[in-house]
């Protein structure tokens, strides 16, 4: 299987369109299309790593075709930073967040911090 076919397979396995993958890794949709369909055009190593991360596949499999397709998520995270997301709502939120461009992720984080601080303020404010 060629690199373009592995990229397409990983993207489809992740349930992503070319547009969604392009947005997730901050490239144009045409770049994803070219990687998938034109054998002489390949992503940079940085983009290959981003594709593997966005599609939740191992870099080894994506780049070479060897190894297992899915990554073992716990092997990719340092023990001190490891968290299991087991609640379906949290999984959905995380998946959507990861698919957003960096600028949108920043806006979402700012909004959540604002909402969190208002909630704390409201809980300590005396009732009139």
Split at pLDDT 50, 70, 90, the class of 39 is confident
Instruction: Over range 37-45, report the average pLDDT.
Output: 88
Q: How far apart are CA 42 and CA 19, in angstroms?
A: 17
Q: How many angstroms separate the CA atoms of 92 and 40, rounded?
A: 36
Neighbours of 98 (CB within 10 A): 12
Give yes or no: residues 64 and 97 share one domain.
no
69 and 90, same domain (yes or no): no
Tell me the C-alpha distance between 100 and 86, whole Å: 21
Claim to verify: residue 9 and residue 68 sit in the same structural domain: yes
Give 9's contacts (C-beta < 8 A, 6+ positions apart).
1, 69
Residues in the chain: 128
Question: pLDDT tens across 84-123, in order?
Answer: 556 778 878 888 888 888 888 889 888 888 888 766 555 5
Digit-coded pLDDT (tens) for 48-83? 999 999 999 988 888 888 877 665 443 444 444 445
Looking at residue 81, what is its pLDDT?
A: 44
In terms of domains, do 22 and 56 share one?
A: yes
On whether residue 107 sits in a domain, the answer given is yes
Domain range for 69 is 3-75
The pLDDT of residue 49 is 92
Q: What is the pLDDT of residue 76?
A: 45
Based on the fold, state whether residues 64 and 89 are members of the same structural domain: no
32, pLDDT greater than 60: yes
Q: What is the DSSP letter of 66?
A: -
The more confident residue out of 119 and 21 is: 21
In terms of Cβ atoms closer than 10 Å to its own Cβ (0-12, 13-18, 19+), residue 103 is exposed
Specify the number of domains making up the chain.
2
Q: Would you say the pTM of this structure is higher than 0.75?
A: no
* 49 domain-assigned: yes
We report the CATH number of the domain holding residue 23 as 1.10.260.40
Provide the phi-psi class of 95: left if phi over 0, else alpha when psi is between -120 and 50, else beta.
alpha
């Amino acid at each position: 299987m060629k690199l373009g076919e592995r990229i397409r397979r990983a993207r489809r396995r992740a349930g992503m369109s070319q547009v969604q993958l392009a947005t997730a890794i901050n490239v144009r949709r045409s770049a994803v299309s070219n990687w998938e369909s034109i054998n002489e055009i390949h992503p940079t190593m940085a983009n290959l790593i981003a594709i593997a991360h966005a599609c939740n596949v191992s870099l080894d499999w994506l780049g070479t075709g060897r190894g297992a397709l899915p990554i073992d998520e716990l092997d990719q995270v340092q023990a001190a930073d490891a968290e299991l997301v087991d609640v379906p709502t949290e999984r959905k939120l995380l998946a959507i967040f990861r698919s957003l461009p960096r600028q949108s992720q920043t806006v979402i984080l700012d909004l959540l911090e604002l909402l969190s601080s208002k909630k704390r303020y409201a809980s300590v404010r005396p009732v009139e």
